[in-house]
Amino acid sequence: MVNAEFQFAHEVAGLGNIYVDEALFRAGIRPMRHSDNVTKKEAVRLHEAIVAVLQEGLEHGGTTIRNFISGNGKEGQNQDNLRVYGREGTPCTVCGTTIEYTKLNGRGTHYCPKCQT
């Protein structure tokens, strides 16, 4: 019998666009910032934000934007919690500034120009 409880690994190989956008937003870091300009305090905030968005995603069964179906055949519900991903042109839920979308190195990213510095 497989244990249905999830446990986080100590390492993550990578994050998808949705969770990257959401974690950077929660940490207050603009996606265009170079990693060598991120302070230790910001890196700690980013780590905490990554853990939080992944945990939230798991708790809500994943994020269904187009066609995601979980292993038990259900759509995820985490898309209802997204603060920036897929919300370009709409007001930020924190400050009201319009969420922007841009491409960085071929990857699309969503961010709030006021909340993320």
The pLDDT of residue 71 = 63
Instruction: Give me the pLDDT at residue 72, please.
Output: 66
Provide the whole-model pTM: 0.80
Domains of the chain: 17-111 (1.10.8.50)
Q: pLDDT truncated to tens, each residue of the chain (117 aa)?
A: 344 444 555 666 678 899 999 999 999 999 999 999 999 999 999 999 999 999 888 887 766 665 555 566 666 667 778 999 999 999 999 999 999 999 998 999 999 999 999
**Residue 17, class by beta-carbon neighbours within 10 Å (0-12 exposed, 13-18 middle, 19+ buried)?**
middle
Residue 108: φ, ψ to 5°? -75, 145
Q: Could you tell me which residues are beta bridge partners of residue 107? A: 104
